[in-house]
Structure 1
């Protein structure tokens, strides 16, 4: 029926029904929980990314103070919690949520801030446990959803008649505590809005407005759970530094067995002269390192003019235990070497040979199972400000420019303010990055980021620089630029680099150590290794199409009986033949006769062009790498080839001259 003229229609709304009150009761805690938990997923992703890329660890190695890191971290954590809490309250007022509108601001801020802190503690635990940032972010959202459901149901267990152990167990979960607090506050706010006297929760009654888990009780539990999560996350982060799915296994120092008598292997050693030479080289290096290590005084300062090598590694071993097999995996096995001042020491080996693990033990990322290392005569943690590092993964930030990176690292290394601009220009020029000085690193290619990392490692005039596969991802042109810069910087510094690039090791390495199966197989200058382990001279030929290769080989064997044909290739279009004739080491003195043959009979034999070379470092590396094999238990063993000859494994390579006598 229409309203009578002159009278206003009835616009009074009915009071909330019990169903509407129940809807508000469920909606408000869900809104608060989701709003406060989003920052947890973001923080967990950031922590996992930092650990995944090794940012904090690398900066600490370069001299960043732990106190500075945690001060900045706690400041960011405080601001994050404050902003999250205020934003939740602001949106609650905007959406006219009774829980927010009818509850004292102080109660809301304390509750929300405490839960935000606990969420950050959970995020740090996730970041310490989960190896990748993507997985950490995904699992954080799964955690939020799962514990919202658990918290929604668990809050009903805080009633009379429920076992104390169950309520205590539920109180260990932050989501349950928040949902309990929000449910109590929501009920009180709703009743207060309906005019029920004494229904609101204030600071006066926050500890005793109910007998079982009041809002004040949730505060106490949140604070305790936060402390527990932080302690657990810190412990896990300290123990598991690598970010790998390995459990570092600490063992008592191994008692090295006396090596077997070499007399039992006389026939083997005679058949494998090159392997014996490798054994002697490595044993001599280990013996020299041992002597110099015993002279070092870790607690004393080492003068600049001291003859003590800047880096000493003495009988270093590192073992892991891999799940679920629980087998011990020797990543590094009894490695010894020292590096003189002003030298570039290259650790050359295939993937998984133990190069990076050795480097991580030296720089302090791993605690060795056995052995010791000294840098500048002291443990690494005492000389971090005098060390440079290029880790396997670049320590750069996408939101900073190249200039800002140089300025940041200059301050970490203690460079004087008036010298930062000149240093910035020099570093970026040496790494061919002047044209992107003010560009965000997030826009850089992989090679540009790598060059920036190398430049940053040279800031502060470090005495020792460690480089883990420094030119990985760098194009050939800029690789040469980096090599030239490293050579210039190495004149008064010691550089230790790991690589699986033969060209890089040959170009940069003053001393090259070939690593395989966790052992140092041989060590020495490039030319010495080629001379010692090369098979001899190689003659590379370009031959006319249709030439009888057998006649060609016979002609060489008439002059050099042990000459062999090792490579043969026929061009499909022109028919020209490319061949390689190798001369045995024992017939090196016959090289002039071979050259005379090439000069006098090239036309007759159909030889169009030729050149003579020694074995490359790659040939040496492959020859030594083939001498190493590993059984299912990860132990090195002897290996017999198809001809019946024995190849000495890396277990035997250190079997002489390294034991304690």
Structure 2
């Protein structure tokens, strides 16, 4: 201080020498200097540790959730199940994959912070950090599995997950932290709030930040294992809560996946029954529950009623000969946005024995694909029952899905093995080759039931002929359900056909029966000169007065002749007489085609729905 006063006097004397005796320098605000260092250090990681690091760790959650929902939305897991991947291996593989991904992510997180020298990482014991992060990422993965069961859209899951992340960080940093710091706030309520995994994560990171801050200021070593016994340290309770939640959520997620997820459909108490498969014979009482469908049965045609009675008999006296049995199966989609509800499948009863190819014909939107989707587990029926090899599709889809088998034999049968085709990636196949590959995949593992949705679409004639031969050979020891819009394909492959219109089965039988039952006419065509058109009409009237002219152009006439009124021999005799009397350029007699039957049945069904 003396030195400072001396400096002030010397400065004033020099200033007065230069400017005159009236000049004076004021030093009221001059302080003592130099001044000793003030201990003031800020650990930036400790300030960011709570909120920022919470968001960093939570970024893993939407990655896991959206991946699981994507598999569900794209039906990828169902496809894997169909090819033999059980629930146990699926969970182990998927869980292991996300755990490895999460461990790598957290190692990079801790390593990066340590390399930067952040006290948040370097002062706290690494073993405590490893245990904390390891338990939490396992809890996070199990939570993703649990929530994935309630989402069907990736977009919805993604938005929800990120809103949850953002909200968790804000609530933790600007609300939960004040409760932790308030010593008067009940500890029991803090523990209760930590049951929410996001708050538990924040509390653990907050404790790491506090230990790092205090350790850097006083020169201690940060958090150590013995510090967990301190009542002021909340890390011990956080670890216990997160570990207990991890185990509980894991079992709950697996249970919900088994009971509610599409393609599994087990009963709520499946774990008490030892995963026993329910045989068809135990479901025979379903056949007597028909009171609600009496009106429909009365309106059904005789062939459809006969099929329903056949199903009832099979339910009362089940046999292993019928691979597929559907009993009063329904699929109804409720109305949305003011639109009325719609039946996709309406009270379908069907039995398909082994060794039969059953063809499903119908216009677009008739319910064919919806029926197959229910049978393979993509969607669940609204009501009714269906059994494949005696197993209920509602509760035992895992037992229905077939296992993988010999790929080489299937590829050879469809010409997908030679010429380098088998070595190509499937994405590089043409449309026809992809169709053939799909058929080959469906036959892998020697399945007893095969569903084919328009397998011949887009194939050239030679490849289609090859495909038909494969299907003919495949149906010898298995049941095949085939949908198609090709009448030629239906006649070539199917032992029986069912025509579906407006979600209902309208008729059923083999192609010849359907043509005889619903056709009932011959189409007679004759071409002459215009002068003899009247003579042709007279000949047809002599064959049957119920003939109906359907076409007339430049001497060519077509007539529909009822089969019950006409004998083919009489037609040939009439043509011979006509040839002797005038010139016949051409003539023909055609039976009813399957396409004619299809059009007639569809028109009748639409007309009935319009009237009703």
Cα 1:440–1:94 change in 2 (3 A) is: farther
Determine if the alignment matches structure 1 residue 336 to structure 2 residue 349.
yes
The answer for the alignment partner of 2:472 in structure 1 is 487
Determine if the alignment matches structure 1 residue 533 to structure 2 residue 506.
no
Report the structure number with the largest CA radius of gyration.
2
Give matches, 1:116-515, under 5 Å: 116-133=137-154, 135-137=156-158, 139-159=160-180, 160=182, 167=190, 170-197=193-220, 200-206=222-228, 208=230, 210=232, 214-227=234-247, 229-230=249-250, 233-234=253-254, 236-242=256-262, 254-257=289-292, 259=294, 279-296=301-318, 308-319=321-332, 330-363=343-376, 371-377=384-390, 379=392, 388=402, 412-413=403-404, 423-434=406-417, 435-444=420-429, 448-470=433-455, 478-499=463-484, 501-515=486-500
Cα 1:355–1:40 change in 2 (3 A) is: same
Contact preservation (8 Å) 2:323, 2:449:
yes
Shift of 1:281: 0.6
- What is the CA–CA distance in structure 2 between the aligned matches of 1:15 and 1:598, rounded to whole Å? 127
Shift of 1:505: 3.1
Contact preservation (8 Å) 1:385, 1:462:
no
Cα 1:117–1:532 change in 2 (3 A) is: same
- What is the CA–CA distance in structure 2 between the aligned matches of 1:459 and 1:112, rounded to whole Å? 44
- What is the CA–CA distance in structure 1 between the aligned matches of 2:169 and 2:89, rounded to whole Å? 36
- What is the CA–CA distance in structure 1 between the aligned matches of 2:495 and 2:186, rounded to whole Å? 72
Shift of 1:224: 4.3
Q: After superposition, give the CA deviation of every residue in 1:620-658 in whole Å (9 maximum; x if it has no partner).
A: 23322333359xxxxxx7654xxxxxxxx8xxxxxxxxx
The answer for the alignment partner of 1:519 in structure 2 is 504
The answer for the alignment partner of 2:594 in structure 1 is 617
Shift of 1:38: 4.0
SS of the residue 2:109 aligns to? helix
Shift of 1:117: 2.0
- What is the CA–CA distance in structure 1 between the aligned matches of 2:574 and 2:523, rounded to whole Å? 11
Shift of 1:501: 5.0
Contact preservation (8 Å) 1:114, 1:223:
yes
- What is the CA–CA distance in structure 1 between the aligned matches of 2:237 and 2:223, rounded to whole Å? 13
SS of the residue 1:337 aligns to? strand
Determine if the alignment matches structure 1 residue 40 to structure 2 residue 61.
yes
SS of the residue 1:130 aligns to? coil
SS of the residue 2:143 aligns to? helix
Contact preservation (8 Å) 1:387, 1:463:
no
Shift of 1:374: 3.8
Shift of 1:219: 2.7
Cα 1:43–1:261 change in 2 (3 A) is: closer
The answer for the alignment partner of 1:395 in structure 2 is none
Shift of 1:475: 6.7
Unaligned 5+ segments in structure 2 are 1-36, 264-284
Cα 1:50–1:599 change in 2 (3 A) is: farther
Shift of 1:464: 2.6
Q: Kindly report the root-mean-square deviation, in angstroms, between the aligned alpha carbons of the 2 structures.
A: 4.6
- What is the CA–CA distance in structure 2 between the aligned matches of 1:190 and 1:578, rounded to whole Å? 102
SS of the residue 1:205 aligns to? helix
Contact preservation (8 Å) 2:95, 2:141:
no
Flag the structure with more relative contact order, 1 or 2, with Cα contacts below 8 A and sequence separation at least 6. 1
- What is the CA–CA distance in structure 1 between the aligned matches of 2:67 and 2:290, rounded to whole Å? 43
- What is the CA–CA distance in structure 2 between the aligned matches of 1:205 and 1:552, rounded to whole Å? 114
- What is the CA–CA distance in structure 2 between the aligned matches of 1:29 and 1:448, rounded to whole Å? 56
- What is the CA–CA distance in structure 2 between the aligned matches of 1:383 and 1:210, rounded to whole Å? 53
- What is the CA–CA distance in structure 1 between the aligned matches of 2:441 and 2:476, rounded to whole Å? 18
Cα 1:597–1:36 change in 2 (3 A) is: farther
- What is the CA–CA distance in structure 2 between the aligned matches of 1:117 and 1:568, rounded to whole Å? 79
Cα 1:138–1:567 change in 2 (3 A) is: farther
Unaligned 5+ segments in structure 1 are 1-13, 244-251, 266-275, 303-307, 389-411, 416-422, 570-575, 631-636, 641-648, 650-661
Q: 1:88 is matched with which residue: 101, 109, 119?
A: 109
SS of the residue 1:96 aligns to? coil
Contact preservation (8 Å) 2:514, 2:597:
yes
Give TM-score scaled by structure 1 length: 0.68
Q: After superposition, give the CA deviation of every residue in 1:541-565 in whole Å (9 maximum; x if it has no partner).
A: 9999xx99x9899789767665556
Contact preservation (8 Å) 2:64, 2:141:
yes
- What is the CA–CA distance in structure 1 between the aligned matches of 2:467 and 2:39, rounded to whole Å? 74
Shift of 1:514: 1.8
- What is the CA–CA distance in structure 2 between the aligned matches of 1:261 and 1:193, rounded to whole Å? 82
Shift of 1:279: 0.9
Determine if the alignment matches structure 1 residue 99 to structure 2 residue 76.
no
Contact preservation (8 Å) 1:386, 1:464:
no
SS of the residue 2:225 aligns to? coil
The answer for the alignment partner of 1:268 in structure 2 is none
SS of the residue 1:129 aligns to? coil
